[in-house]
């Protein structure tokens, strides 16, 4: 869907035309794909693993052989899908959908190396226009992805559409640090350390400058919860993790 020419959005701290944001985001993940997983460990000091495990606990895929279909959108290199697939039963299938072929290539290689390619499949696609039928998944996850999507309300509408009634929506996203002292440390870490680290590890400081800026531009968790409700979800809640560095949002299609 093309938007009006005067519509703008944020790309980090820059205002850009709405229709340009996706191209800029795609360039970021094209640049960093091969070192994306390593950078996640370095810049979060491994904490992203804990946050992702908390998301998988909330997802709670069935331990019986009942069929269960997970759609992991903006799933990148497959981290969420792999974590969900490992403890799940034989009926579990995950589809990783991401707009970036470079991130998906890394994900497919990881799936093969971890012998998970029979339960996890990868498909290129846009969160704003999912190529899946209505009511086709039991759960929809999106981790550190939604703030990169230009039209968040459209992506939330698509999440609602593809979930079956009773389906679970879970979103892990950076949030607003609310612990005095930690906020200053977090600012220093984000703006002084992460872009130079990005330069050393990926050769690209600018992509990581975008990532830290985009975190600050993302709506506060109560505002984002309202957006999830507006998309049609019920029993919407959120949980702050690590002093507000991250929030886990949950909603149900009833
Ligand atoms: C920070 S990574 C998150 C990857 C993975 N979920 C994780 O937690 O490690 C953000 C991902 O969002 C993807 N992305 C950005 N815009 C998208 C869109 N409109 N539709 C689908 N994926 C998108 C990017 O290609 C990238 O792989």
pLDDT band at residue 87 using 50, 70 and 90 as cut-offs: confident
Is it the case that residue 1 has pLDDT exceeding 60? no
Instruction: List 233's β-bridge partners, or say none.
Output: none
Residue 136's Cβ-count burial label (10 Å; 0-12, 13-18, 19+) is middle
Q: Model confidence over 188-206: pLDDT tens digits?
A: 999 999 999 999 998 999 9
* The predicted structure's pLDDT at residue 37: 93
The CB of 96 under 6 Å from ligand 1? The reply is no
- Residue 108 CA to ligand 1 centre (angstroms): 15
Atom of ligand 1 nearest to the CA of 40: 9
Instruction: List 96's β-bridge partners, or say none.
Output: 72, 122
Q: Compute the half-sphere exposure of residue 190: CA atoms within 13 Å on the CB side of its CA.
A: 18
Scanning the structure block, which residue is given the tokens 């220093």? Answer: 188
User: Residue range 28-38: average pLDDT?
Assistant: 93
The CB of 104 under 6 Å from ligand 1? The reply is no
The structure's pTM equals: 0.95
The CB of 130 under 6 Å from ligand 1? The reply is no
- Residue 129 CA to ligand 1 centre (angstroms): 14
Question: What span, in angstroms and rounded, lies between the C-alpha atoms of 211 and 231?
Answer: 26
* The predicted structure's pLDDT at residue 14: 85
The CB of 250 under 6 Å from ligand 1? The reply is no
Is it the case that residue 218 has pLDDT exceeding 80? yes
């Amino acid at each position: 869907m093309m938007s009006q020419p005067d519509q703008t959005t944020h790309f980090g701290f820059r205002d850009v035309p709405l229709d340009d944001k996706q191209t800029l985001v795609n360039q970021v993940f094209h640049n960093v794909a091969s070192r994306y997983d390593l950078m996640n460990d370095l810049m979060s000091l491994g904490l992203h693993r804990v946050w992702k495990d908390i998301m998988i606990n909330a997802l709670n895929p069935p331990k019986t052989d009942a069929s269960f279909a997970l759609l992991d959108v903006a799933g990148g290199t497959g981290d969420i899908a792999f974590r969900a697939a490992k403890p799940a039963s034989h009926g579990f299938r995950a589809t990783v959908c991401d707009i970036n072929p470079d991130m998906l290539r890394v994900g497919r290689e990881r799936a093969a190396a971890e012998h998970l390619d029979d339960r996890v499949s990868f498909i290129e696609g846009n969160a704003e226009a999912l190529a899946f039928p209505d009511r086709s998944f039991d759960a929809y996850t999106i981790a550190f992805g939604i703030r990169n999507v230009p039209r968040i309300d459209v992506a939330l509408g698509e999440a609602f559409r593809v979930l079956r009634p009773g389906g679970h929506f879970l979103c892990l996203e950076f949030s607003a640090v609310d612990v005095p002292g930690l906020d200053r440390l977090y600012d220093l870490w984000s703006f002084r350390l992460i872009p130079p680290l990005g330069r050393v590890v990926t050769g690209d400081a600018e992509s990581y400058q975008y990532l830290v800026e985009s975190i600050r531009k993302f709506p506060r968790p109560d505002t984002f919860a309202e957006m999830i409700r507006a998309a049609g979800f019920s029993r919407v809640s959120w949980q702050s993790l690590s002093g507000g560095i991250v929030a886990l949002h949950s909603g149900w299609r009833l």
